[in-house]
Structure 1
Amino acid sequence: MFTHAIKNQLIMMQLLLGKTRQLAATPAASSNEMSENLEKLSSIVGETQQRLDQLYKSFKTTYLQLKPVQAHELFKQIIGKLQIPERIHFLAVKPSDNPMILADEAHFAEALANIIINAFEAIGKEKDGQVTVRMYTEASWLIVTVEDNGPGIQAEHLDVIFDPFYTSKNTNKNWGVGLSYVKQIVHGHFGHIHVDSRPGVGSTFQVLIPIYLNAER
């Protein structure tokens, strides 16, 4: 998936370069059209570099610093990273108990916030949205679910949404680096991530992290 996405970007740049060269060789070439092509090229190159840098930084997390952290503190950090759009009704439910997990606070909070932000963006601006975040315990697991009423994900895409640079959008922005990073961070915490989605109904992401110590409320 990584090489496929980069290949598509290179093809786009090659096509624009070829068209720009043809224009440059034409005496009656439109300077506006040439400028437009150059701006597109610059944008694609910039986005490619930015996303490659983002991917590199996101995967420089081999050495996570896992320390005991209370669930309530993590929940507070995750919610504190969000800017909730006005059109979205947001509900956050923290756990009734307060166990500890072994976590790299910065990376774990960033990963979970990323899932929530993806939910905001999936809903878009066409309708009032609903995003619900719940953190709770079940057996020996701390579980976080993120549920939205967005457009959902087609069944054939569910197996690839965590691949680097995957996106279902026809754009060179909003590539799927975020979910790839999320998956790596969750696995780095000895956890699991699942997604359940129905097109036209919405999606639910579920993250499970093993409990380190059951603490007092």
Structure 2
Amino acid sequence: MVIYASVFFLIFTCLAVIKNRSSRSARFLCAMMVSWFCAFLFLVFYLSRQNAYWSSVNKIFYIPPGVWNYLVLRIDMPENLLIRGMNLSVALFYYFTVRFALAFTGRNRDKKRIYLLLLIPAVLEILYFDPAAQLKLQEIFCGYSMASWSNYQMLNEVCSWIFRGQHVIYCLAGAWLLIYYYVRYPQVRFLKMYTLLNISCVVPLVVLFMALFFWLPQSLVRLTMKPGFWNYLIPSLNVGILSNSMFYVVFLVLYLLLIVLVLKFHTMEHYYQKDQINIETRMSTATMGINTLTHAMKNHIQGIRQEVDYLSEKYPQEQEIQSSAGFILDSCGICMQMLETANQQLKHKVLSMKLLPVDAAVDSVLDKWNKNSGRVPVVYQPEEKPGMAFLDEESMEEVLENLLKNAEEALRDTDGGQICIRLKKNKGWAVIEISDNGPGIAEEDREKIFIPFYSTKGSSNNWGIGLAYCHRVIKAHGGRIAVDSKVGEGTTFSVSLPLI
């Protein structure tokens, strides 16, 4: 059953990753499973090649006697090839485990030197415990007389424990990265649940793998007194753990959970992925009644337009009437445009989020802002590049432009006005601060500025929709927006976005 489940899950995982190959962590998860299955398969073939007793093998692998007899009689693969395949699969499994954790948590992104350093122990392990290398070492230490066998055994034992320690370190490092990422970084609820699913599935799977292959690396080939002939050893598996039926119950449950995990990867392909994957976050604004409001006001404005057209046609020679009619029609056009803008901002909106650098969104807005002449100067003070976040680029630019326009309007009657943008990182959050040295906002108004249709400005062109829209966009990103202001000193809006 375990073999068939392994084959099924391997095919399922490969198909899922081929379909969604843009996810690096999904690719490493697939590589882990391929290594797991290959190590398991090479071990079974090696035991069958050594004609191990079915009763002993069945206690661990639950292989039917007919299948085992077929493997013993039909599998004719060289022992050296099977040992090399087993060593390669085990070493790569631990390497892919730490790479999976690094890819999932976004650590050391695109740092090839670190990846090469992590790969060096696996390469050394594969080379040292290669059957040809082991036979050569035995010839150097002992020759065919076996006189200095204890020295060779001591060297092998030391190397085995060093590489086993490296396996444990890789697994602990991967587990620590996932747990630390869950505790500190994902501020988005979906990501926290997704990270928890990874921890609950992958960590037990690694523990089960270590229980099955705890004895590797190990030399399985021995020289004999006759040159050209060698003995191959049967490894001493931990039957006490592996013969327990609960081992396989847990193993099969983990397979089912990992199928869910791969499906979650598929979900992430639809929700969170650079270039291809979008997250659809709907901002519910139905309670505002904006559709009803705009429809009713448009009807009244259209009625005013018709009456003005009627008066304009009835008194074509009256210049004062024509002038007033033109002014009224222009005002109606402005009102219709404002209603359309309000309707676009306050209706249900779908955010198409992509994994983007936070500073890129700020740079894009500043480029557009600086191209328009006659505006208040903006000082940009990036303390550091905070990293990557899932952003809807268009909506985020609208938010920043809106905050810049508010700051500019606040400085309209201020001499020496200046706007300052600061970009910094704070415990897994990217913080964008937009400050002005204007008149500030009174305390009683600060509590209401994010309420739709509330405005502190006396302009008839401002309906108090902008900050309410900003608030909803930032909340939909899993972030926060706050204001700090003192009357006579200025105002600072802080946008906090969760980093990935």
**Structure 1-normalised TM-score?**
0.75
The Cα of 1:45 is off from its aligned counterpart by: 2.9
Write the letter of the residue equivalent to 2:368: K
Change (3 A) 1:183 1:95: same
Query: What is the correspondence of 1:183-198 to structure 2 with a 5 Å cutoff?
Result: 183-198=471-486
1:89–1:130 Cα contact (<8 Å) kept: yes
Q: Find the counterpart in structure 2 of residue 152 from structure 1.
A: 440
Kindly provide the CA deviation profile for residues 128-170 of structure 1, in whole angstroms up to 9, marking residues without a partner as x: 1111001110001100101101111122211222233332233
CA distance in 2, matches of 1:45, 1:2: 22
Instruction: Describe the shift of the 1:52–1:185 C-alpha distance in structure 2 as closer, same or farther (beyond 3 A).
Output: same
The counterpart of 2:416, out of the listed 106, 118, 128, is 128
Q: Between 188-197 and 92-101, report the one with greater CA deviation.
A: 92-101
Which residue among 311, 314, 339 is the counterpart of 1:52? 339
The structure carrying a bigger strand percent of its residues is 1
Cα gap change, 1:142/1:65 in structure 2, threshold over 3 Å: closer, same or farther? Answer: same
Residue type at the aligned position of 1:192: R
- Residues 163 and 81 (structure 1 numbering): CA distance in 2 closer, same or farther, change over 3 Å? farther
Aligned residue pairs, count? 194
Note the alpha carbon deviations across 1:179-206, whole angstroms, 9 max, x for none. Answer: 1221111111011111111122111101
Contact map agreement 1:196 1:204 (CA 8 A) in 2:
yes
From the CA coordinates, give the structure whose radius of gyration is larger. Answer: 2
Unaligned runs of 5+ in 1: 18-23, 25-30, 213-217
1:108-187 alignment, distance < 5 Å: 108-187=396-475
Mean Cα deviation higher: 77-86 or 185-194: 77-86
What letter matches 1:55 in structure 2? A
Partner letter of residue 448 of structure 2? V
Cα distance in structure 1, aligned partners of 2:320 and 2:445: 37
State the alpha-carbon separation in 2 of the partners of residues 203 and 106 from structure 1.
25
RMSD of Structure 2 on Structure 1 (CA): 3.0
- Alignment partner of 1:105 is 2:404: no
- Verify the 8 A CA contact 1:85 1:120 in the aligned structure 2: no
Equivalent-residue separation in structure 2 for 1:112 and 1:32 (angstroms) = 45
Note the alpha carbon deviations across 1:4-45, whole angstroms, 9 max, x for none: xx8xxx8xx9xxx9xxxxxx9xxxxxx677566545543543
Q: Distance in 2 between matches of 1:108 and 1:37?
A: 41
- CA positional deviation for 1:175: 2.8
Deviation per CA, 1:73-128: give whole Å up to 9, x if none: 12211212314665734211224234100111111122112101210121004411
Aligned equivalents of 1:85, 1:176: Cα separation in 2: 26
Q: Distance in 1 between matches of 2:327 and 2:334?
A: 11
Measured in 2, the distance between the counterparts of 1:2 and 1:60 equals 9
Check 1:198–1:42 CA distance in 2 against 1; reply closer, same or farther (3 A cut). farther
Conservation of the 8 A alpha-carbon contact between 2:385 and 2:423: no
SS in 2 for 1:82: helix
CA distance 1:66–1:94, shift in 2 (3 Å):
same
TM-score by length of structure 2 reads 0.35
Q: Which has the higher helix share?
A: 2
Q: Does 1:201 align with 2:483?
A: no
Contact 2:375 2:408 in 1 (8 A): no
134-143 or 41-50, which deviates more: 41-50
CA separation of 1:138/1:167 partners in 2, compared to 1, >3 Å: closer, same or farther? same
Q: Aligned residue for 2:329?
A: 42
Structure with the bigger RCO (C-alpha within 8 Å, sep 6+) is 1
Unpaired stretches in structure 2, ≥5 consecutive residues:
1-287, 305-310, 312-317
- Give the distance between the partners of 1:208 and 1:193, measured in 2 at CA: 6
Q: d(CA) in 1 for partners of 2:473 and 2:457?
A: 24
Alignment CA distance shift 1:198-1:39 (3 Å)? farther
Q: Residue in 1 aligned with 2:380?
A: 92
Letter in 1 for 2:475: H
The worse-fitting range, judged by mean Cα deviation, of 136-145 and 31-40 is 31-40
